[in-house]
Structure 1
């Protein structure tokens, strides 16, 4: 996502070049393209990504302490809340937006029904 013509748009599928993480863009900012990275390397369109490591979801050979990693089915948002990604394949890399770590999106509390 380093060139200006490859701005993330809702529905885009991105893959990490550093680990097995794959995401779908749920929400993206209207103007400008943030640099989305995982494990320190910019993410690329899933169609042009190298094949995932053998062994299924997480990276083969990755041990504890390699980073927080990503979790399948969880949504990650940037600090401003303008970029939202849905993880479709887990990996050991940490998702970042313009160099700032993305956080897990929390569920909105339901209203009390008394």
Structure 2
């Protein structure tokens, strides 16, 4: 994978948003979910970076699948924050959209990689 790939940049931008969300949540005394969302939301980019130096094509696909699972978990925490009225609709819609785009990119990368195995 190229170092300047779209998924690399998108996952970093998303992680930055998640860290900022964590600070917002902690300023509003929400510590439990903030810890969960920061772990899953930042893991996506960490796994993408890990996959850059995968030991094999299978290892690459495995890491990308785990990144997809983390993105899906992040969707859960974001939805929970919205449905409990901790996160406003405009903020939720924006970050949810970014997360959905990441998931689509990961699915595409996984599917393309599986075709070349």
Is the shorter-chain TM-score for this pair beyond 0.5, marking a shared fold? Answer: no
If each structure's helix is expressed as a fraction of its own residues, which one has the higher value?
A: 2
TM superposition score normalised by structure 2: 0.27
Higher strand share: 1
Using the size of structure 1 for normalisation, the TM-score is 0.27
